Amino acid sequence: MAQKHVVVIGSGFAGLSAATHLAHHTSCSITLLEKNDSPGGRARKFEHQGFVFDMGPSWYWMPDVFENYFSHFNKKPADYYDLIRLDPSYAVIYGENDTLDIPADLQEFKSMLEKIEPGAGTNLDKFLAQAKYKYEVGIHDLVKKPSRSLLEFASPGLLVDMVRMDIFQSMSKHVRKYFSHDKIIRLMEFPVLFLGETAENIPALYSLMNYADIALGTWYPKKGMHEIIRGMVALAEEKGVKIRYSAEVEEIEIKNGLANKIRLKSGEKIEADVVVAGADYHHVDKHLINPKYSNYSEDYWNKRVMAPSSLLFYLGIDKKLKKLRHHNLFFDEPLGPHADAIYKNPRWPERPLFYASVPSITDPTVAPEGKENLFLLIPLAPDLEDSEEMREKYFTIILDRLEKITGQDIRSHILFKRSYAHSDFKADYHAYKGNAYGLANTLLQTAILKPGLKNKKVRNLYYTGQLTVPGPGVPPSLISGQVVADEVMKENNL
C-alpha cells in the first residue's frame, strides 16, 4: 500500500502542532507549506542591526500547556529554550506616579490587593479557588474536545462541571462579586482581553485566565518567543515533517468530494490524501476552495465577532529606558471609550489604551549593548482603513503619553522604527478583516458554536488555528493542532 500524504497549510503554532502530532503517530509523509519565507505565522521574528523583534505574541502564560505539548514526544521545553519567570510579572500604569508592579509571589500579590481594598486578599483566595477549578477542567478537558457534537458534552459529570464553570455569567459581574476597587477590577479583567472581547461579553468561565496569570505566572523564553517556534520546527523536522517556505497555496483542488491536490502560486501541484488548513479559516473557506464547497456564507463570516486587530511599533532605542518593566499595561485612560471604539462602534479610538514590552530589560541578547528593544501595541477594531498618516498620528499619541508618564525623552533616541497594522496582517497572513487574534471567545462563539474543524462537504479537509476550536491565543493554538490531528487519524485510518 502506498504511503499516504498529508499536507498542512501554515506553520504557525497550530500548523506545526498538527503536523508534528501526525508525523509522530502515523506512517504518513507530512508536508507543511508556509506562505512566508520563515516559520511561525504571527510568531515570526525579524532582526535589524542587532535588534531581534518578536513580531506578534509576547506573553508566555500557561507553561503547563507547553510542557504537555513537548511531553507528547518525550521532550520538554528545556530541550529547546530556557524559560525565565518574570518578577514582577508585569506593570500596570494608571497614570503619572501611579504604577502597580505585579509580584510573582502569591502572598505578596495578596498583600498588594489588601492595601488597595481591605478584604481583597481573602476574597482573592475564593476567586482563585474557582478559577483553578475552571482552569483544570477547561484546559485539561474541555479545550481538547473537537466540539463537533453536543454529545461530547452530554455526560452528567461534565454537565455539572459546565454549571460550575460559570458559562452563563459575564466575567464583569463575576469579578465584581469579589472586588469593588476600580484598580483591582481593571487588573482582574485585563487577562480576558487576550480572548478578544470586553469582560461584559466574555463568560466568567474565563476567570481561568486569572489563575494562569496569578498562580502559574508570566514567563519569558530567553532570546524571545520565536525560540518556541524554533524548537517546534526542530522537533517537527526530527519527526520527518518536510517544511517548505515561500510556498503560498493558490487553490485546494477537490474531486469527488475529496481534496486531492494543492496548487501553489508557482503553478506546482502537490498530491494529498488529507489536507489540514492552518491558514486563515475565512481565506481557505472563501478563496482556496471552490465556493460550492465553502463551509460558511459570507454573511456568516460578517456576523462573527472578531477579536481586535492591532497597530504595532517595533523600535530600536539607543539608550536604556527608565521606569518600565518587561511588560507594561497603560491604563492611564478609561477603558470605556477604547472598548466602544473596538466593539460597539468600530473606529480609530480617540483615547487609546496601549501595551509596551521591553524584552531587553530581561534579555540582553535581543538588543545591542546599552540599547533597548521596545515593542508597542494598540488594540484596534478589525477592518479599519489603515494608512501611514493614521499610524503616525497614533504613534505620536502614545509616545507623548509614554514619555510624560516615564519622564524621559524617547523620540530623539529612536535608531530604528517599523510599524505593522491591518494591511500587513492581510498581506502576510490573509487575515480576515486584518484581525490579529482570530475570533472573540464570546458565549455564542464557544465550543460547537465556533467554525467547525472539518469541512462539511469535503471528507478529508480540516481546519486548525485561532478561528476554530478551541480559540485564540498561543496555548489554544497548540491544543488546536493536537485536536485536529486526533480527528484526522480517527477518520482516515492513518
Cis before 346 (ω within 30): no
pLDDT band at 443 (very low <50, low <70, confident <90, very high): confident
d(CA 419, CA 361): 22
Closest by CA position to 53, among listed 43, 66, 39, 41: 43
Residue 166 has pLDDT above 70, yes or no: yes
Residue 159 has pLDDT above 60, yes or no: no
- Beta-strand pair 242-244/45-48: unpaired
pTM, entire model: 0.97
| CA neighbours closer than 13 Å in the CB half-sphere of residue 312 | 24
State mean pLDDT over 198-226: 96
Residue 154 has pLDDT above 90, yes or no: no
State mean pLDDT over 183-210: 91
For residue range 354-364, what is the model confidence (pLDDT) as tens digits? 999 999 999 99
- Beta-strand pair 327-330/90-95: parallel
Query: Could you tell me what percent of the chain has a pLDDT over 70?
Result: 97
Residue 31 has pLDDT above 60, yes or no: yes
113-214 CATH pick, 1.10.405, 1.25.40, 3.40.720, 1.10.3470: 1.10.405
How big is the CA angle at 466 (ends 462 and 469), to the nearest 5 degrees?
Answer: 60
Residue 251 has pLDDT above 80, yes or no: yes
State mean pLDDT over 268-288: 98
Contact 364, 126 (CB under 8 A): no
For residue range 76-122, what is the model confidence (pLDDT) as tens digits? 999 999 999 999 999 999 999 999 999 999 999 999 999 999 999 99
| Average pLDDT score, the chain | 95
State mean pLDDT over 437-458: 94
Q: In the CATH hierarchy, which fold is given to the domain comprising 5-82+223-303+441-492?
A: FAD/NAD(P)-binding domain (3.50.50)
Query: Could you tell me what percent of the chain has a pLDDT over 90?
Result: 90
155 or 291, which is more confident = 291
For residue range 286-316, what is the model confidence (pLDDT) as tens digits? 999 999 999 999 999 999 999 999 999 999 9
Crossing angle of the two packed helices 120-140 and 106-116, in degrees rounded to 10 = 130
pLDDT band at 400 (very low <50, low <70, confident <90, very high): very high
What the block records as the C-alpha cell of 160 is 455539572
